[in-house]
């Protein structure tokens, strides 16, 4: 049965010292914007995260963004898992996945090929190319008619370079074939916590919701999605609580105050 906000926060607030709160960034803590570099947290979010980090066992962001980007927009008290678990920052220390370094030149080659294929004068010009060091996102939010072309280009380049292709909202991503995703990131950050909340809004968050279910925490394992016209049906069906809009994430954070 779907939960309401009060029933979600009550068991988590009961023992904050044993509870971990985890959030996706884009579309959850931050509005989705046309220019990814311009993304920033919603008003009041950073202050609330910092306040909650003083009471809960751990408060963190689990994102496809690099840790370096997240560190510039979120408080230092917030643990960060970036690039779908390929790097993380906990307690001020940034640690990368041991298999990641050998894939950086491969991803760099993919970036060169994709940028050439989407340069001015090409049929795919207008696709936004976002290199992230260990992954690449091809954005079509401002040119949705190029979605099929972006997916085909990703398959061509990814297939040749043995990179994984992952769908996302109004975009497609290329990743190294390393067994890391938001599910593995959630398990790493949750540790042996007896309460965990994860909030997200995209198909990339599905592994985190699955990992949360597998922890078997009962009412102290809570999955939350942010509603909107782009919320995938798979995500909507997977979670216990769907917040009505992005501003409701602020109300959730406020309600989590012990």
- pLDDT 10s digits, 205-253: 999 999 999 999 999 999 999 998 888 899 999 999 999 988 899 999 9
Residues 6+ apart with CB under 8 A from 93: none
| CA atoms 238, 207, 82, 22: torsion sign | positive
pLDDT band at 29 (very low <50, low <70, confident <90, very high): very high
42-67 core/surface letters (b: 16 or more CB in 10 A; e: else): beebbebbebbbeebbbbbbbbbbbb
Domain parsing of the chain, residue ranges = 5-97+180-255, 101-175
User: CA-to-CA distance for 86 and 82, rounded, in angstroms?
Assistant: 6
Architecture of domain 101-175: 2-Layer Sandwich (3.30)
pLDDT of residue 1: 43
Q: Global pTM?
A: 0.90
In the CATH hierarchy, which fold is given to the domain comprising 5-97+180-255? Rossmann fold (3.40.50)
Q: How many residues does the chain have?
A: 258
Average the pLDDT over 113-121 and give the result.
Answer: 97
Q: What's phi and psi for 162, nearest 5 deg?
A: 60, 35
Query: Which of 190, 90, 96 lies closest to 135 in space, CA to CA?
Result: 96
Q: Alpha carbon 210 to chain centroid distance?
A: 14
């Amino acid at each position: 049965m779907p939960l309401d906000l009060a029933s979600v926060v009550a068991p988590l607030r009961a023992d904050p010292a044993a509870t971990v709160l985890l959030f996706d960034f884009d579309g959850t803590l931050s509005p989705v914007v046309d220019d990814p570099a311009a993304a920033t947290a919603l008003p009041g979010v950073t202050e609330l995260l910092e306040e909650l980090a003083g009471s809960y066992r751990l408060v963190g962001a689990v994102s496809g963004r690099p840790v370096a980007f997240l560190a510039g927009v979120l408080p230092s008290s917030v643990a960060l898992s970036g690039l779908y678990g390929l790097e993380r920052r906990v307690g001020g220390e940034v640690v990368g996945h041991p298999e990641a370094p050998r894939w950086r030149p491969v991803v760099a080659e993919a970036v060169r090929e994709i940028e050439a294929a989407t340069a001015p004068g090409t049929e795919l010009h207008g696709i936004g190319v976002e290199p992230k060091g260990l992954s690449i996102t091809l954005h079509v939010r401002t040119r949705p008619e190029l979605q099929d072309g972006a997916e085909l280009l990703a398959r061509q380049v990814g297939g040749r370079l043995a990179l994984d292709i992952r769908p996302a909202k109004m975009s497609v991503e290329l990743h190294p074939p390393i067994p890391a995703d938001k599910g593995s990131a959630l398990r790493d950050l949750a540790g042996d916590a007896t309460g965990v909340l994860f909030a997200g809004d995209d198909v990339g968050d599905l592994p985190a919701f699955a990992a949360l279910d597998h922890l078997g925490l009962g009412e102290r394992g809570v999955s939350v999605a942010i509603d909107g016209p782009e919320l995938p049906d798979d995500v909507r069906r997977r979670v216990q609580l769907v917040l009505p809009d992005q501003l409701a994430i602020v109300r959730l954070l406020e309600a989590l105050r012990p």
